[in-house]
Structure 1
Amino acid sequence: MEFKDIATVAGKPGLYKVLKPSRSGVILESLDEKKGKLVVGAAQRVSLLSEISIYTLTEEGASPLQDIMVKIEKEFQGDTGLEGADKEEYQAFMKHILPEFDEDRVYASDVKKLINWYHIIRTQCPEVLDEETGKEDNKTEEEEK
């Protein structure tokens, strides 16, 4: 599995594996113990994790979510220590991982969601957090361009 195979649905918690497109939208499978299937129509907003970025103050303006998650895995290996953390702790964590993140546009709730997604991915499909796999994915995307 790769980041382009994992999606989030606006208004629904958790992450979903993209199974296949259908006539009315896309078929997703939840990345949890239940493995429930869901058909999402065109009216609902579905975002692939490979297309999500975190705002930064750099020239590019954003950093890909995949790079950030690989960095979290490399440094913390699953133990972020943020269970029950407050707003300042989430901001400090983000500052540690991505010093140039835009504090005005990245909220503590966004960081909390990032950590939740990280734990889901680490549990259900840890291979996507492998740094080498991530580099191969980026090379493939660049070769396609």
Structure 2
Amino acid sequence: MEFKDIATVSGKPGLYKILKPSRSGVILESLDDKKGKMVVGAAQRVSLLSEISIYTLTEEGATSLKEVLIKIEKEFEGDTGLEGADKDEYQAFMKHILPEFDADRVYASDVKKLISWYHILRKECPEVLEEKPEGDEAKDDESEKDKS
């Protein structure tokens, strides 16, 4: 599984694996123990993890969610220590992981959601948190095209 195969649905907790498009929307399967399936219509906002980024104060203005999650995995290996944390602890955690993040636009609730997603990914599809050399991603893209 890759980041482009995982989505979040506005107003719904958790992460979802994209199964396939349907006439009325897209069919998703929850990335939890229940593995519940649902059809999400055009009225609901579905965001792919590969398209989500975090605001920064750099020239680019943002860093991809994938980069941040891989950095968290590399440094913490599953133990973030943020269960029951307060707003200041979430902000300090984010400052540690991504020193150039924009504290005015990235709220503690966003960091809490980021940590929640990290734990879901680590449990359900840890392979997406592995850092791949740049060349390997291009090879993966090529092998996907070959399968088509």
Q: 1:33 and 1:103 mapped to 2: Cα distance?
A: 34
* 1:60 lines up with 2:60 in the alignment: yes
1:1-145 matches, within 5 Å, as 1-132=1-132, 136-137=136-137
Contact 1:18 1:26 in 2 (8 A): yes
Kindly provide the amino acid, as one letter, of the partner of residue 80 in structure 1: T
**Secondary structure, aligned partner of 2:35:** coil
Runs of 4+ aligned structure 1 residues displaced above 2 Å come to 133-141
TM-score normalised over the length of structure 2: 0.91
What 5-or-longer segments of structure 2 have no aligned partner? none
Deviation at 1:74, TM superposition (A): 0.2
Kindly provide the amino acid, as one letter, of the partner of residue 3 in structure 2: F
TM-score normalised over the length of structure 1: 0.93
Contact 1:127 1:133 in 2 (8 A): no
CA RMSD, 1 decimal: 1.7
Q: 2:29 and 2:134 mapped to 1: Cα distance?
A: 22
What 5-or-longer segments of structure 1 have no aligned partner? none
Deviation at 1:137, TM superposition (A): 3.5
Q: 1:50 to 1:98 in 2, by over 3 A?
A: same
Q: 1:125 to 1:133 in 2, by over 3 A?
A: farther
Per-residue deviation, residues 3-62 of structure 1 (Å, max 9, x unmatched): 000000000000000000011110000000000001000110000000000000000000
Q: 2:67 and 2:112 mapped to 1: Cα distance?
A: 17
Deviation at 1:136, TM superposition (A): 3.4
Deviation at 1:132, TM superposition (A): 1.3
**Secondary structure, aligned partner of 1:14:** coil
Per-residue deviation, residues 60-86 of structure 1 (Å, max 9, x unmatched): 000000000000000000000000000
Kindly provide the amino acid, as one letter, of the partner of residue 4 in structure 2: K
Kindly provide the amino acid, as one letter, of the partner of residue 136 in structure 1: D
**Secondary structure, aligned partner of 2:132:** helix
